[in-house]
Structure 1
Amino acid sequence: MTTTTAEPTIARQALVALALASGSVVALGFTRFAYALLLPPMHEVLDWTYAQAGGMNTANALGYIIGAATAALLARKAGGRQVFLWSLAVSALALLATAATTNFASLLALRFVGGLATAVTFVVGSVLASHIVTGATQRRSALMVAVYMAGVGIGVVISGLVVPISLTSGASGWRLGWLLMGAISLVALVPAWLGARSVTPSSGAHSVVLASHQLRRLAPTFVWYLLYGAGYVSYMTFVIALLKSEGLGGSAIALYFVVLGLASVVATLAVWGHLAGRLRAGQAPALVAVLVFLGVLPLLLLPTGIPAAMVSAVVFGASFMAGPTAATVIARRMLPHGSWTAGIALLTVAFSVGQAIGPLVSGLLSDSAGGITNGLWLSAALLILAAVAALFQRDHHAS
């Protein structure tokens, strides 16, 4: 009798997590990663330097830092469900508005607002996903978090299909790309609302800051996440520009992006959802950083072409979203229930600081004599440092 009732429960929990994943589709799949597809035409049509292009992602990351830092307070004041949905709506509007201007300052402001809103969406959505199975085992909780994170890969796949089509419309194609993603984001509000209303609100007091001993116990993970954020996002920001500069056409680049997204979805669900809950201490984040590093190498060591791009897409795609999965699982494991939102938010702040610094420095290096390859070598170095930092993390009992 127990067996027959367990499976529908797990299936229902997975459906709730998948509905919540509408938030991660928009927050990272569209707002952050689709920029890599739109960067080359915007760089060309708007006559940007690579430093300016990287600055756009830095503005987005700065907004992300503020959004992550305030997410716990907003959720406590207004309620997690409401904050999740309102921030998702703002994200959708920011995507739509990006299509309406060519002014550099205005685009910087919109990237900032989009970063702020999507950080709140992503953090609060991660917490809601963690609460789906509050009373269950760590492994099942990790699986539900992975389902939520799989939305990022879904967003990458969707943008990989939609954006290249929009770019065939000519010089204004980048506008159409943002417009279509904004429209899809508005539609995503429906499943997001259904998912949020299905999560049972948690009881008890919730802190918006961590105690000093909680900060100390998570210190290696904070360092890992900062370095990881800088390393992986430098690759994601400029990889499409690199492929285009090496002569790959629009169809090959679209294929690369779709393969990357599919690899992310499959690996997040089939591998990381189970593995992240089993590995102890800093093993999962260290493994993630090493695998993402290996995903960068094909474009640095092999002749740039479709084979190298596909290998990189599969390896990088299969591992990059395991970082947020591992961070969320660690926060849930090592912090008491009432500190989950604050812990995930502060870890996301560290992640965002890395994402703010990485693209700007990588862009400056890409403007130098060595070109975009210099920026990708920086990405590889940061990922190795992240793996080393993660190994210093030790397990602790939640308190």
Structure 2
Amino acid sequence: MKAAQAHPWMVLAGLALGVTVTNSFARFAYGLILPAMKSEMAWTYAQAGWLNTANALGYIVGAVITMLFIGRRSPTLLFAFGLITTTIALLATGLNAALWWQTMWRILAGLFGAMSFSTAGVLVAGLFKDSPRHNALAIAILFGTGGGVGIVLAGAALPGMLDHYGNSSWPMAWVAVGAVSVSFLPLSLWAAAQLSVPVQIQSKAPALPIRRMLAQMAGYAGFGLGYIVYLTFLSAWMTEQSASAGFISAVWVLLGLCICISPLVWRPILARHASGVPLAMILSCIALGSALPVLWPGSLSLLISAVVFGLSVFMAPSAVTNFTRQNLPPESWGQAISLFTVIFAVAQTLGPYGAGLVGDLSHNIGTGLLVAAALLLIGAVIAWTQKPLHLPTAKS
């Protein structure tokens, strides 16, 4: 823990790069590679959406495993194991075009990614214990900047590469993503080792007040249902609108940059509120960003959409992590974050495949984006009703 106290921002940077791998690369790089894979393999939208649903199914298993093991194994160990195995899964995705192979490795990337992603939140909650404001910023940077860096890198490189080498080069794209992930491992694994959070014995932790957390849980489920549709099908929708590879790249880089700075935008709100207000506000912005390109078609609309969506999307995990930290005792953090992760994981399995079906039936994937926006707004309304728990043992 000495290195964590002496170099907390370096430790945070290492953990954030882990999120880049398990969140941005493992889940969202697919959205950039999808148009090439869909064209090369002649997939329907439902088939294309299925692979992100498969990833989400794996995420459920990983989240459940994490929830069971968080009381028996160190979060540091779970984070490191999940990060290494996710990297292997990314490399393997580019080795075979068969749908069964793709499905298997998308499932495993989700499973291993969930183990690392959810324990990253537990680890970073241990930074800046004496400064709630710095801790709120650290949590926001972990999910926001950590996720945004991956989207900037993937957005800057993949559309141009696929356009230059053709759709058949999609395996090379996956190998490239995996290779960058390998380069992040040393710093990420070092950072996790500096935060040797003790095993949280669940029997000593008080039972979670689940009934009083239902609104926050339902809002987070709405996030899982809706957000993934935009990140899965944005490039495919832009390709249908005859957008150039350069413009697709520009939109994704702008999206990623906005994700990177989103912690600075939301930091005051996250630190100020112990209720469901931050999550409700975040979900409303994600919904607006999802619907804008369809309701107001055009290049300017896409750029504004990328800004609004990017400034909000990765702040939803920060909102529930801050809610947990502000309302529950430290010994319950791991259990609560794992529970939120399971709820989110179950919800996001329905989004990509469901939106793909809607796109096939309507012959326009934009309809799927509108349905996703509606689900996000419903989640926002429910989250708005979440009150602070006011537990006497909670640490503010």
Report the TM range for the smaller structure's normalisation.
Answer: over 0.9
Candidates 186, 197, 215, aligned match of 1:190:
186
Post-superposition shift, 1:353? Answer: 1.4
Structure-1-length-normalised TM-score = 0.93
Q: Given the alignment of the two structures, is residue 347 of structure 1 paired with residue 337 of structure 2, yes or no?
A: no
Which whole-Å CA distance do the structure 2 matches of 1:11 and 1:307 have between them?
45
Post-superposition shift, 1:397? Answer: 2.9
Q: Could you tell me which residue of structure 1 aligns to residue 170 of structure 2?
A: 174
Which whole-Å CA distance do the structure 1 matches of 2:165 and 2:122 have between them?
40
Post-superposition shift, 1:210? Answer: 7.2
SS at match of 2:309: helix
SS at match of 1:42: helix
Post-superposition shift, 1:375? Answer: 0.2
Asked if the contact 1:131–1:202 (Cα under 8 Å) also holds between the matched residues in 2, the reply is no
Q: Could you tell me which residue of structure 1 aligns to residue 361 of structure 2?
A: 368
Alignment of 1:287-302 (within 5 A): 287-302=281-296
Q: Could you tell me which residue of structure 1 aligns to residue 197 of structure 2?
A: 201
Asked if the contact 1:33–1:236 (Cα under 8 Å) also holds between the matched residues in 2, the reply is yes
Asked if the contact 2:56–2:346 (Cα under 8 Å) also holds between the matched residues in 1, the reply is yes
Candidates 267, 277, 283, aligned match of 2:271:
277
Which whole-Å CA distance do the structure 1 matches of 2:380 and 2:272 have between them?
18
Asked if the contact 1:13–1:144 (Cα under 8 Å) also holds between the matched residues in 2, the reply is no
Asked if the contact 2:70–2:335 (Cα under 8 Å) also holds between the matched residues in 1, the reply is no
Asked if the contact 1:207–1:338 (Cα under 8 Å) also holds between the matched residues in 2, the reply is no
Number of paired residues?
388
SS at match of 1:277: helix
Q: Percent identical across equivalent pairs? A: 35
Asked if the contact 2:76–2:196 (Cα under 8 Å) also holds between the matched residues in 1, the reply is no
Q: Given the alignment of the two structures, is residue 162 of structure 1 paired with residue 182 of structure 2, yes or no?
A: no
Which whole-Å CA distance do the structure 1 matches of 2:199 and 2:52 have between them?
37
Candidates 257, 265, 269, aligned match of 2:260:
265
The residue type equivalent to 2:109 in the other structure is: G
CA shift in 2, pair 1:207/1:250, >3 Å: farther
Asked if the contact 2:74–2:199 (Cα under 8 Å) also holds between the matched residues in 1, the reply is no
Candidates 194, 198, 214, aligned match of 2:209:
214
Q: Could you tell me which residue of structure 1 aligns to residue 135 of structure 2?
A: 141
Q: Given the alignment of the two structures, is residue 68 of structure 1 paired with residue 63 of structure 2, yes or no?
A: yes
Q: Given the alignment of the two structures, is residue 318 of structure 1 paired with residue 311 of structure 2, yes or no?
A: yes
Which whole-Å CA distance do the structure 2 matches of 1:389 and 1:209 have between them?
28
SS at match of 2:343: helix
SS at match of 2:72: helix
Post-superposition shift, 1:290? Answer: 0.8
SS at match of 1:394: coil
Structure-2-length-normalised TM-score = 0.93
Which whole-Å CA distance do the structure 2 matches of 1:110 and 1:265 have between them?
28
CA shift in 2, pair 1:397/1:368, >3 Å: same
Which whole-Å CA distance do the structure 2 matches of 1:209 and 1:55 have between them?
38
CA shift in 2, pair 1:204/1:242, >3 Å: closer
SS at match of 2:182: helix
The residue type equivalent to 1:385 in the other structure is: I
Asked if the contact 2:229–2:369 (Cα under 8 Å) also holds between the matched residues in 1, the reply is yes
Post-superposition shift, 1:294? Answer: 1.5
Post-superposition shift, 1:326? Answer: 0.3
Q: Given the alignment of the two structures, is residue 382 of structure 1 paired with residue 378 of structure 2, yes or no?
A: no
Post-superposition shift, 1:76? Answer: 3.4
Q: Given the alignment of the two structures, is residue 32 of structure 1 paired with residue 27 of structure 2, yes or no?
A: yes
CA shift in 2, pair 1:204/1:359, >3 Å: closer
String of CA shifts for 1:284-333, please: whole Å, max 9, x gaps: 00000111111123202112x32111111011001111101101111112
SS at match of 1:296: helix
Moved more, 168-177 or 124-133: 168-177
The residue type equivalent to 1:181 in the other structure is: V
Asked if the contact 2:28–2:151 (Cα under 8 Å) also holds between the matched residues in 1, the reply is yes
Which whole-Å CA distance do the structure 2 matches of 1:182 and 1:89 have between them?
11
Post-superposition shift, 1:352? Answer: 1.1
SS at match of 2:386: coil
Asked if the contact 2:160–2:249 (Cα under 8 Å) also holds between the matched residues in 1, the reply is no
Post-superposition shift, 1:202? Answer: 4.2
SS at match of 1:125: helix
Which whole-Å CA distance do the structure 1 matches of 2:350 and 2:330 have between them?
32
The residue type equivalent to 1:54 in the other structure is: G
Structure 2 segments unaligned to the other structure (5+ residues): none
Which whole-Å CA distance do the structure 1 matches of 2:160 and 2:5 have between them?
37
Asked if the contact 1:51–1:364 (Cα under 8 Å) also holds between the matched residues in 2, the reply is yes
Which whole-Å CA distance do the structure 2 matches of 1:266 and 1:101 have between them?
36
Which whole-Å CA distance do the structure 2 matches of 1:196 and 1:243 have between them?
38
Q: CA RMSD in A?
A: 1.9
Asked if the contact 1:226–1:351 (Cα under 8 Å) also holds between the matched residues in 2, the reply is yes
Q: Could you tell me which residue of structure 1 aligns to residue 53 of structure 2?
A: 58
Q: Could you tell me which residue of structure 2 aligns to residue 251 of structure 1?
A: 246
Post-superposition shift, 1:171? Answer: 3.1
Structure 1 segments unaligned to the other structure (5+ residues): 1-7
Q: Could you tell me which residue of structure 2 aligns to residue 5 of structure 1?
A: none
